Amino acid sequence: MLPPPGPARLVFAIALVVAVTTFAIAAGLARVDHSARTETTQNWLSGIRAEATVAAESLSGDMRHLSDLADALVAELESGTLPTDRIESRLQAMVGAHPYVFGVGVMFRPHAYAADRRLYAPYIVKRNGQHRLVWVDEVYDYTHPEHAWYHQGTTHAGWLEPFFGQASQAMLALYCAPFRLPEPQRRRPELETDGTVCIDYSIEDVWALVGALDLGDTGYAMVVTDQGTFVSHPRRDYVRQGLTLLDLAERLDDPSLRQLAEQASDEQRGTIAHTSELTGQASWIFHDPIAASDWTLAVVAFIDEIPLDRARHKYRQILITIALVVGASGLVVLLVAYRLGSEPVLWSGSLAIAVLFLLGVVNIWALEFAEVGRDPPGAVMLVDRAGIASYLDDYVEESRLQRLGDPLRVPTGIYLESIRFETPHDFVVTGFAWQRYRRPDQDHLTRGIFFPDSVPEQDVREELYRFRDGDHEVVGWFFKTTLHQPSDHSRFPIDVKTLRLRIWHPDMTRNAVLVPELSAYRLIHPTALPGMKPGFRLPGWQLERSFFAYRFHDYRSDFGIRGNALMGGFPELTYHLTLRRNITDAFISNQIPLFVAAIMLFAMLMIDTREQARASLHGFNTATVLATAAAIFFIILLAHIDIRSRYATEQIMYLEYFYFITYFTIVAISINAFMLTASNDLPFFHYRDNLIPKLLFWPLLHGAFFVVTVYVFL
């Protein structure tokens, strides 16, 4: 049913067109935004999955090729084409034809090679880039029960669990296959087999292949056997210790890792959604079986590293908010059009539109506060030791290329006791710092840290302790320092601040890289505020997250030290504290004058009248309105000046636009009072005794707030 013909129907038609058009635009933008994010996510996940599959196939191909070489050698021994007295020369020929082979050897059972020789085990292994012939039997007795590789290799063919080879002095993945010599050559006919042929896949080669995967800044890959033993992991000590995936799952109480261990033992291919209870990081784990063995390649890709265009997402969300607010306002006008002559209906519509604009402002604030959960620009959050190791791999490679040597990693911890803002751009921080130096490898390093952003005259550091802890020396300090960090107050009070404590090692002549000692914190989830005093409070701010991060920063200078590591992309350790301004405090202290002024201005507007009786009753006249408006203006101006002096910023702050709107409203109310008493017939002001300006006051005021909010945050 349509409104009656006339102005009401025209208003209805315009409102209907506006509502339908803007809702359609909002729906289209939402679909585009969802499609863009979904496509980016799917492409990223597909790329990671493809990387994992290709790497698994490459690893499988390498292992199959090595096992084929060993099987071919077994066939030669069993057919008699390879006499036992030519084994050494055959091994030499094999590594000559296949120089990528790390090691290959033939190990005979006791007295199976010769009656007068108990053991015979020629083994060619790569050392310092060159293949050398060694005899395993001269290094150790490989027939002892603890050498499982030999006992398994003499019974059946297959890849063995990784272990540290005493003869090769390296971590090895070994393929062994038993052989049985032709009957005329056998020295011990009672034995099922005469020995085993073993060929090595160096774990270093596995690490190199897996490390070449492009998995983002902190994503990483690992290789495990069907028993869950780590063959490759960014935490290389896991491999050296023989740790299993199930051990790690139990240690971390992680059900997703238990699931991965079970699926790896069954050689399944799949995807596991994973959220670390310790770090809070969400990730996907893609795992593929390695066909040539009973191993599995698993890739961990962190969802935070999906290359979403967050700026475009926020832009679209604000446009959607605009469309929804305008569309909903159109619906309100459409409903009001049925009863344009009813003042209660008109007032209801006016207030509803004002509320819609206010909701739009709040929604944009919520979009802005969503920035709290993002990593700061140019930095990568460090909450996982495997991720740190993976992240530093590229820098290690770069250091070697620049002949800086391997970086000297120094575990470093921070614990903050207090923070106090002295100026909008300077803050005082007190707390504790400590470091672990490995002895004797790092005895030449200076013990200490410094903060490059500190004000020299206000930087205090006192050594509290120094002691030996196994093969490490631990040094701890108390510090109090003033840090200068320019801040952007353009969005005050809807702003998020990141306090950044940059930490350097004083020995700049060495390639010393500080790494966060995550094991020193009970919880390293950023929202658990690791490194912060329990119950820490900062007036006016809400603490959201604390975490360590690396910033690869090129200082474009060697500081006078030729060959300085800081000249390139040096990983600078920083401790970040993300703060969200307490909007309640900010608005109570800064918006109350504006709110009171708006109420007073609306009251002045409501008593504006052309009726003499009402004007006399309320004492209304133009001079009174102008005097009151002037008084309100000076009160608001003083509050505005106070804010500018407190934050000393060269930018126009978001809150200041509210003051500018209030100034304009004061002028508009003054003009309205003058025009209302004008003798000429002015329908806009004289209709129903100033009804139109009264109805428009709150929608226009909140609409102006909405417009400046869009302008600042879009």
Give 429-459 pLDDT, tens digit per residue: 999 999 999 988 888 898 999 898 888 888 8
pLDDT of residue 372: 60
Taking CA atoms, 45 is separated from 41, 59, 382, 561, in Å, by: 6, 21, 22, 43
Mean pLDDT of 681-706: 87
d(CA 352, CA 315): 26
Residue 528 class from Cβ within 10 Å (0-12 exposed, 13-18 middle, 19+ buried)?
middle
Q: Which of the residue ranges 59-73, 169-183, 379-393 would you say has the lowest mean pLDDT? A: 379-393
Number of C-beta neighbours around residue 130 at 10 A: 7
Q: Which of 108-122, 127-141, 524-538 has the highest mean pLDDT?
A: 108-122
Q: Which of the residue ranges 1-10, 539-548, 667-676 would you say has the lowest mean pLDDT? A: 1-10
Contact 349, 336 (CB under 8 A): yes
Q: Retrieve residue 397's tokens.
A: 């490679």
pLDDT of residue 59: 86
Assign 698 a pLDDT band (cuts: 50, 70, 90): very high
* pLDDT tens figures, 392-431: 877 777 777 777 777 889 999 999 999 998 887 888 999 9
CA triplet 449, 451, 457: central angle to 5 degrees? 110
CATH architecture of 80-206: 2-Layer Sandwich (3.30)
Question: Is 588 strand, coil or helix?
Answer: helix
Q: Retrieve residue 492's tokens.
A: 């005050």
Number of C-beta neighbours around residue 184 at 10 A: 6
CA triplet 70, 73, 78: central angle to 5 degrees? 125
Assign 170 a pLDDT band (cuts: 50, 70, 90): low
Q: Retrieve residue 115's tokens.
A: 């009656």
pLDDT tops 60 at residue 564? no
Q: Retrieve residue 712's tokens.
A: 């600042």
pLDDT tops 60 at residue 567? no
pLDDT of residue 148: 86
pLDDT of residue 39: 92
Assign 562 a pLDDT band (cuts: 50, 70, 90): low
* pLDDT tens figures, 640-667: 888 888 877 778 889 899 999 999 999 9
Q: Which of the residue ranges 47-56, 202-211, 370-379, 424-433 would you say has the lowest mean pLDDT? A: 370-379
pLDDT of residue 373: 58
Fold of domain 215-305: Beta-Lactamase (3.30.450)
Assign 210 a pLDDT band (cuts: 50, 70, 90): confident
- What sign does the CA torsion over 62, 269, 295, 179 have? negative
Full DSSP string of 28-69 = HHHHHHHHHHHHHHHHHHHHHHHHHHHHHHHHHHHHHHHHHH
pLDDT tops 70 at residue 133? yes
| CA nearest to 332, candidates 123, 626, 19, 604 | 19
* pLDDT tens figures, 463-519: 999 999 988 999 999 999 999 888 777 888 888 888 889 999 988 778 888 999 988
Assign 575 a pLDDT band (cuts: 50, 70, 90): very high
d(CA 362, CA 654): 14
d(CA 499, CA 415): 14
- Classify domain 379-581 at the CATH superfamily level: Neurotransmitter-gated ion-channel ligand-binding domain (2.70.170.10)
Torsion, Cα 563 564 565 569, to 10 degrees, reads -90
pLDDT of residue 549: 87
d(CA 170, CA 629): 85
Contact 546, 529 (CB under 8 A): yes
pLDDT tops 70 at residue 234? yes
- Residue keyed to tokens 């569309």: 327
pLDDT of residue 528: 77
pLDDT of residue 553: 61
pLDDT tops 70 at residue 47? yes
Mean pLDDT of 45-74: 88
Mean pLDDT of 610-622: 60
Q: Which of the residue ranges 11-15, 343-347, 625-629, 656-660 would you say has the lowest mean pLDDT? A: 625-629
Mean pLDDT of 568-581: 83
pLDDT tops 60 at residue 568? no
* pLDDT tens figures, 480-489: 999 988 877 7
pLDDT of residue 697: 94
Assign 197 a pLDDT band (cuts: 50, 70, 90): very high
The H or E element that residue 252 is part of is helix 245-252
d(CA 105, CA 121): 7
- The alpha helices in 372-520, defined as continuous H runs, are 385-401
Instruction: Specify the length of the chain in residues.
Output: 714
Full DSSP string of 88-134 = HHHHHHHHHH-TT--EEEEEEPTTTSBTTBS---EEEEEETTEEEEE
Mean of all residue pLDDT scores within the chain: 85
pLDDT of residue 290: 87
